[in-house]
Amino acid sequence: MFPEHRPRRLRGTAAMRRLVSETTLRPRQLILPMFVAEGADAPRPISSMPGVVQHSRDSLRKAAVEAVRAGVGGLMLFGVPKVHDAVGSGATDENGVLNVALRDLRAELGDDTVLMADTCLDEFTDHGHCGVLRRGEAGEDTVDNDATLERYAEMAIAQARAGAHVLGPSGMMDGQVGVIRRALDDAGYADTGILAYSAKYASAFYGPFREAVDSQLKGDRKTYQQDPGNAREALREIELDLAEGADAIMVKPALSYLDVIKAAAELSPVPVAAYNISGEYAMVEAAVANGWLERERTVLEVLTSIRRAGADMILTYWAAEAATWLDREKA
């Protein structure tokens, strides 16, 4: 009548559980995305992302230093410009908000952390799309892939010049990794890396991010981001980015795409990142605010599950805080 096998033996004490734990979660595996707003003289809260702010130049510097002290592996910067236009001029302007912030942080932090930048036009365009538009014969606007690539090449050089170690092309234009790689190499930035947002889905979970960057978008990004139902297509996108020279690849969002992360990890010869995005953050924070979930436990479980699926690194708005929890755990 008695069970022959007793898996519970390996769960009996905290020491035993620690010994047999399969998945590691360390501060260095976490990348903190940060927003910096042009002309802000104090941090501005983002209502749908409690605890996350649009930084001023000054508060960005302080928060970045703190995050690095907490042990995070890197920072990913997004700019929120004051002025938007059709081609996203602020993205390539050396005095544009993102490029200024990159220079500030590189000066402040040197090579102590990996400084990354979002290489995409949507924060800077007045229509909110990730590229430049072309008017079709019927008067409809479509995102012009190849004209956008030219803008990405210029943006990449501006960001590398401003001090980014790694660029994160997130616009899902065909050929973006190859064009950026060539532009960087030709301009003398052969050492600047590319973290390719390879499998990026047209997700409802980006909602709070749109508030975070004052997005001008009406409509959606379905002609360039992937359909949530497609997994095979993600593998093709990853293979193309690898062939074009990606130094690391990304799956985004994370929680609804753990199967894609796992498949990516199985095939990728380079590190795999996953983006635990704004809506995933908001969802947990909202439930916590209602007293429905325990904050620290939930966040660590979310991050552990993304690691278990195969992500080497995770972009998460909880990065700095989680890093301090994980350090405490070690002590």
Q: Which residues are annotated as a binding site?
A: 210, 221, 237, 278, 317
Instruction: Scan residues 257-286 and list those touching ligand PBG (CB under 6 A).
Output: 277-278
Contact between 198 and ligand PBG per CB under 6 A: no
The residue among 128 and 193 lying less far from ligand PBG, judged by its C-beta, is 128
DSSP H helices in the chain: 14-20, 57-70, 97-109, 145-162, 176-186, 207-212, 232-243, 258-267, 278-289, 295-309, 319-330
Contact between 201 and ligand PBG per CB under 6 A: no
The one catalytic residue in 62, 82, 222, 252 is 252
Burial of 208 (0-12, 13-18, 19+ CB in 10 A): buried
Instruction: Scan residues 11-70 and list those touching ligand PBG (CB under 6 A).
Output: none
CA distance 87 to 82: 15
| DSSP 8-state class, residue 253 | S
CA distance 42 to 60: 10
Quick count: other Cβ atoms within 10 Å of Cβ 13? 9
Nearest approach, Cβ of 15 to ligand PBG (angstroms)?
37
Task: Pick from 124, 189, 209, 224 the residue near ligand PBG by CB under 6 A.
Answer: 209
330 belongs to the catalytic site = no
Contact between 122 and ligand PBG per CB under 6 A: yes
Residue 33, beta-bridge partner list? 76
CA distance 115 to 267: 26
Over the window 166 to 185, marking each residue x when it contacts ligand PBG by CB under 6 A and - when it does not, the resulting string is ----x---------------
In 3-state terms, the chain is what percent helix, strand and coil (to 5)?
45, 20, 35
The residue among 122 and 241 lying less far from ligand PBG, judged by its C-beta, is 122
Please enumerate, by residue number, every residue annotated as part of a binding site for 5-aminolevulinate.
210, 221, 278, 317
**Contact set with ligand PBG (CB under 6 A):** 118, 120, 122, 130, 170, 206, 209, 221, 277-278
Active-site residue set: 200, 252
